[in-house]
Amino acid sequence: MIYFNSTELMTGHYYNYKLYSMNVIYTSNLFGSIKVLIATVPAQLKKPEFVSSSLNDKSITVTWDEPSYIGGIPV
């Protein structure tokens, strides 16, 4: 198993990583990829509050407040 450490990443930015398989005999042509969004832990969310529901419309409506700090990513 090999580890890779990225430093100086910026909150709210996406980083794309590609992984190739390689040894002394073979290097793969295909790669795996991952897209990572850097964020921090957001403020604790308050629980949603019930507003209304409708059996006819098969719906329920709730409301909640956006946290004071969202960790650098959109809610």
pLDDT at 11 over 80: yes
**Distance (Å) of CA 28 to CA 16, 18, 35:** 19, 12, 20
**Per-residue pLDDT at 1:** 63
Rg (Cα) of the chain, in Å, rounded? 21
pTM score over 0.85: no
Task: Name beta bridge partners: 34.
Answer: 17
The average pLDDT across 10-35 equals: 86
With H, G, I as helix, E, B as strand and everything else as coil, classify residue 30.
Answer: coil
How far is it, in rounded angstroms, from Cα 42 to Cα 75? Answer: 10
- The pLDDT confidence band at residue 46, using thresholds 50, 70 and 90, is confident
The structure tokens 């959109």 sit at 74
